[in-house]
Structure formats: C-alpha cells, structure tokens
Structure 1
Amino acid sequence: LVQAAVTLQNAPRDSFALPGLLVEETLPPVETAPFDLNVEFEPRPDDGLFAVVSYSTDLYEAATVARLAAHWLELATRLATGDPERPLREVPMLGPAEHAEALTAAEGRATGTPSLPVPAAFAARVAENPDALALISPSGRLTYAELDARAERLARVLAERGVTAESRVGVLLERSADLVVALLAVLKSGGAYVPLHTANPEERTRSLLARSRTTLVLTDREMPSVAGVPAVRVDTAPASDSRPPAALHPDSLAYVM
C-alpha cells in the first residue's frame, strides 16, 4: 500500500527490574526493511527524540539516507529555535555548507568543454567512429553511421511536415530501435519530443497532446491521426534530400513530460 512510513512510538512502556540484573533495551540489527524507507521516532526523557531509519539497500545508499536524516535534523532545529509562525515552506533544510555548495552548483562551473546540443554531440561521435556498434535490439543492430542515417531521413520528413525549432512531436512507440531513431530525429529537426504510452486510453492521450501543444505524432502504426493530431510513420521516406538546417541551441527545448 505504501513505500515509506513515519511512526511515532509513544506508547508508555512499563519499566521493570530483576534482582542482580541491569535491564537495558537494545536495537537488533535490521536485516529486512518493512518499507523502502521507514523512520521511527521515540520520545526519551533523557535525550529527547530518538530516531531509527531503516531502508532498502537496493534503492538507497547509506550516504543518501544520512543526508536525508541531516536535512530532517536541520529542519527540526530551525523549527525549534526559530519563528514558530514561519510557514514550513520557508524553513530551509540545508545546512550552511550544503547550501553554499548548492548555490555554487546552480551558478555552474566552467569545465572548458562547450555545451553542445544532443545532435551535435552525436554527430561528433559518428564522425569519430562511424562503424562502432550504437544500438542492439530484437530487430537487429545499428552502427552509429546507420543510426544517424535513419534519424536524418526521418528528420527530413519532420521538416517537410512543418516541424521547426521547439515544435512538439509526440512519440507513440514501444521500446525499440524505432524509438531511439524517432527521439534522435525529433532533436535533429529542432523539435521537442512528447513521450506517449501506447497503453494510455484515448482520452488521456488527447489530454496530453492538447496540454503539450503537440502538432505531429510519430508512430509505427498505419493511422492518419492520433487523438486528432496528424500522425506519420517512422519508416516514411522523405520527399526530397534537402532539409533546412535546424536552429539548435543547448538551451532549446528538448522534450515535454
């Protein structure tokens, strides 16, 4: 039913003593976590609120959970020592050092490598080693040169259909080689792709297409339109070999979810 839980263990516990024995509660090592993430709090009279975090090691690293705990501690400390009327959304969870690190990352660091749009970076890889294997799928294998050629042909089709900078192009395809070709072709044309799930009801697809302002849909099915939006098959051949160059920029829109 849930993947995460937060529990306050505040039920009173009866204390007891045994002759000649010191009785002390211990925490057994957790080998199986009941949830993906589980946080248990227990009020203790001597040292405040005691907490235990258990988590699935398939999903989280110890450093991630430690950072999560540190964020909670920072938040709790600020709530306890700051303005109690301050809205929770305005209370920071990052400590001073992590906050400064986040600001530095947001401002960006000079790497010496210019930012390239995906098609330009892919073209450089093709030129570097065109015969290297780029894609393996149940339908076969494609080298970088073959993948580039297929995507380029489809990009010309998209240009002929009016796709230009930041045009939204829906992609209604199963996971396949055609899906990779379609995504690369949309980016080559300057457009932005809108992933669509083949199992979605038509009304859901219609809503996604309308909200994303999608003008064309790529599919492997023989259909003139998808929920009212014109459709084109991924194996459609271009009418000509000419295609106006797309105006690509690293900050251009790439996809819409």
Structure 2
Amino acid sequence: MRRRSDEEGPALLDALLEGRPEPGPAARAAAALGLPERGRYAVAVFPAGGGGPAGKTVPADGMRFFRRTRQDRDVLVVALGDEDAAALVPLLGRWCPGPGGIGPVAQGLAGLGAARRLADVALLTCPPGAAGIVRLEERLPAALVVSQPDLSARLVADVFGPLLALEEADRALLLRTLVTWLECGGSAGRAAGRLYCHRNTVLNRLRRLERLTARSLSRPRELVEMMLALSALELSAPSRGVGEAP
C-alpha cells in the first residue's frame, strides 16, 4: 500500500500541474503526499536539467520541494508553509544560476496548473542567454509581451521599424543609450556617466531616436509603447542582448 501511495502521489501531482480535469485529484494528492490541500504553493520552472534540488522530495528552509521532470522543463512544486515566496529566489539560486521562472502563489493544490502556466510565462521573460531566477510579479510588462508574440512583433515593427533599418553599430548605439537612460531613471547626466560621454551627446541620441520612432520620450503613453517594444526586441534578440556592441 505504501508503494502504491508513493507512486500515486507524483502521478497526481503531474495531473494537477497539467490542469487535467480529473475527479478529486487535489484531495487525493494531499493525502498521498502528506500535504495540506488548501496550503500555499509556488511553482518554479527551469529548462530541462537546469536546476532544482537533486532529490525528488526535499525539505529546505521551512519549505518542501517536489521535483517533476517534463520533456523540456524541470518543474518544482514548493509547499511554502508560512514562508514568503520572495525567499525562493535566493534559495533556488543556491542550486542553479538560472534561467528560471516562478509563478504566483497558489492557494491550494488545485491551483497548481495555473501557477505552472504562469511560471512558464515568467521563464519566457528571461532574455536569450540570460541567467537568474525571476518572479512573474516582477516581470508583468515583459510577461504581457511574451504572451502575445504576434502583437509583440507588430509593436516592434511599428515602433522601431526605421531604427532597425540602420547599420548594426548605429542601431546598437541608440538602443544602448535608451536602455541606459531608462535604467538611470530618465537622467541624461547619470546616463552620460555610465556611457562615458557628454550629457548633450545622450540628449542628441535620444532626440534622434524620437525622430526615428515618431514618438516622444516625454509623453507617457508613447514612452510606454517604446518600453514595451524594447522588451519585445530584447526578448527576441540574439544572446548578446539589445544595444550591446557587436
């Protein structure tokens, strides 16, 4: 009977992660695995072989981890107990550099399917070649972009079409300036310090970018469009990243 329970628990966990409409899998999984049916759970996903504890069931820092392997993903179901989900990022960082994605907290085993799907989306927000583990709540704009690839491609073409027609070095310089300016909170002076150029050089590059995109960085709605298009471009770019020198 114990062997049957040991086999049934992981199978039920897989069914919950897939969101299969089977009768009463949450209650049966809770009984088989010794977990609360209505407890707090998180799901983390990594590329296959990309991370997680070595064992299939591991207790750590007041949490319990259940590792499941899919065709192209390693999936961790985490019974959080009373722990903060934010503590997962440094904890998982002990086991792997990433990339990895963590979905929102599920209030019960029945919510694992939705949490796994959103963890997949969080993983997609990691740019090509990137490391690190990200939580969906911290990447919502990028999550919107990757969830609608056709619209994202249309947005990139509409916003950055003329820019993408430039020579690669010229394009990379303007994009790097935009990224740095955004990272510096819109301060041309701080951006100039990081780019090793004069403040006026940064402003001139940004004005040129505005002309090429027919959008103003001082208009909130147009700035949002440019930031979303930048995220879409970054997530579809080669592994060296948007604006990185060739």
Would you call these one fold, judging by a TM-score over 0.5? no
Structure that is richer in strand per residue: 1
TM-score in terms of structure 1 length: 0.24
Output the TM-score relative to the length of structure 2: 0.24
Higher helix share: 2
Could you say which structure has the greater relative contact order, defined with CA pairs below 8 angstroms and 6 or more residues apart?
A: 2
